[in-house]
């Protein structure tokens, strides 16, 4: 199969779908890899590195899309990329379609098969292709929160770690999944007071075990959320429902009751955000303030660490990508977990949560295959 790697064109996005080490793996399987010139520069990979790994460098994205059968990316395709996709393409990338009807319509019109990293599953019900970026985002969230808390960035002027004799920041994390646990690890490591709100009792037990009581766990109810966000200096939004829009846990009416200069970091922004007042921001303009509360809602947080993120991501995506390249769409029939990643096929929405979020009909591909 001919596999294409275009340069990412979303603002402030420097990751790349395949580092050279992954290209070598595809080539060893007998596939041809087309890489857009300069696609890896943002993550520190030169075109010469790709040539050494066996790739063919092509001059622009148009050549990648025209020559490849499978497109491997990081972020969701942008409008110019929707127009380049056809019914003969397999698209393998993050999509986050639930809050993005325009992208969904673009993919439907293209006729392509679009497989979303964020809805591929594993035997334990986890999301293995979302996990590495959730780890990065959870850790960056605390660094970003600490910076945003500083007075010159609009925050209350609080050092997240405190100093002897001065209390540290109180960090409230909504969700104890991969993002939440990694955010807690960083915050607790800096000396912050950390509380995680979570609804899974086994998950809370796990968090209590790994942090040896250094992190407070609390069962998440509306009352608990309201109580904790009013005490918090930082709130990290880390909730996820696979394929669906994130629930709104912090409403606008809450903001005026929160501490002036407190910080909301919405890691769920790719799925629409879990704060009612969230809207996507960029690394160049990461924050805005509503009712005295500073919002940090960068939609591609791991893009700030493209080398780490590109390598961590491909470690997770590579086995699935190779299956697709080796077997084409037949791989979906043989691997039920990879099949869960199929969001769009032949002009139809094929993931139930995505269809529900978008208000579109759901087409079950399994019926056609079985």
* Partner residues linked to 348 by β-bridges: 345
End-to-end CA distance of the chain: 25
Alpha-helical runs (H) found in 38-110: 47-53, 61-67, 79-82, 101-110
Q: Which of 96, 254, 295, 351 is catalytic?
A: 96
Q: In whole angstroms, what is the distance from residue 295 CA to residue 264 CA? A: 5
Catalytic residue check, 96: yes
Q: In whole angstroms, what is the distance from residue 86 CA to residue 12 CA? A: 27
Q: What is the DSSP letter of 163?
A: B
Q: In whole angstroms, what is the distance from residue 40 CA to residue 35 CA? A: 9
Contact 169, 160 (CB under 8 A): yes
Parallel, antiparallel or unpaired: strands 56-58 and 234-237: unpaired
List, in order, residues 6 or more apart from 295 with CB less than 8 Å away: 263, 264, 266, 275, 277, 278, 279, 281, 287, 288, 289
Catalytic residue check, 364: no
Q: What is the DSSP letter of 281?
A: B
* Partner residues linked to 172 by β-bridges: 195, 235
Q: Which of 100, 270, 295, 351 is catalytic?
A: 270
Residues with catalytic function: 96, 270
């Amino acid at each position: 199969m001919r596999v294409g790697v275009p340069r990412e064109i979303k603002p402030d996005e420097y990751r790349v779908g395949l580092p050279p080490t992954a290209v070598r793996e595809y080539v060893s399987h007998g596939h041809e890899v087309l890489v857009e010139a300069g696609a890896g520069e943002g993550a520190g990979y030169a075109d010469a590195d790709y040539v050494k790994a066996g790739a063919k460098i092509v001059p622009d994205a148009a050549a990648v899309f025209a020559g490849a059968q499978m497109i491997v990316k990081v972020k969701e395709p942008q409008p110019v990329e929707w127009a380049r996709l056809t019914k003969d393409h397999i698209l393998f990338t993050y999509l986050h379609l639930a809050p993005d009807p325009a992208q969904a319509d673009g993919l439907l019109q293209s006729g392509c098969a679009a497989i979303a990293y964020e809805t591929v599953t594993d035997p334990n019900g986890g999301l293995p292709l979302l996990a590495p970026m959730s780890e990065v985002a959870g850790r960056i969230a605390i660094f970003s929160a600490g910076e945003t808390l500083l007075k010159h960035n609009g925050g209350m002027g609080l050092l997240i770690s405190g100093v002897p004799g001065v209390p540290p920041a109180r960090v409230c994390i909504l969700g104890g999944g991969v993002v939440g646990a990694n955010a807690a690890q960083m915050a607790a490591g800096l000396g912050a007071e950390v509380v995680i709100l979570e609804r899974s009792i086994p998950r809370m037990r796990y968090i209590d075990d790994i942090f040896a009581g250094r992190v407070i766990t609390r069962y998440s109810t509306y009352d608990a959320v309201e109580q904790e966000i009013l005490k918090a200096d930082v709130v990290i939004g880390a909730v996820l429902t696979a394929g669906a829009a994130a629930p709104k846990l912090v409403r606008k009416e809450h903001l005026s009751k929160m501490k002036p200069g407190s910080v909301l970091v919405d890691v769920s922004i790719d799925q629409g955000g879990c704060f009612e007042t969230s809207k996507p921001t960029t690394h160049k303009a990461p924050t805005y303030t509503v009712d005295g509360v500073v919002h940090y809602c960068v939609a591609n947080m791991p893009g700030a660490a493209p080398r780490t993120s590109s390598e961590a991501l491909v470690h997770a995506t590579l086995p699935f990508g190779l299956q697709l390249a080796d077997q084409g769409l037949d791989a979906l029939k043989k691997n039920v977990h990879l099949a869960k990643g199929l969001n769009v096929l032949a002009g139809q929405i094929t993931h139930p949560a995505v269809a529900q979020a978008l208000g579109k009909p759901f087409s079950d591909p399994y019926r056609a295959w079985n």
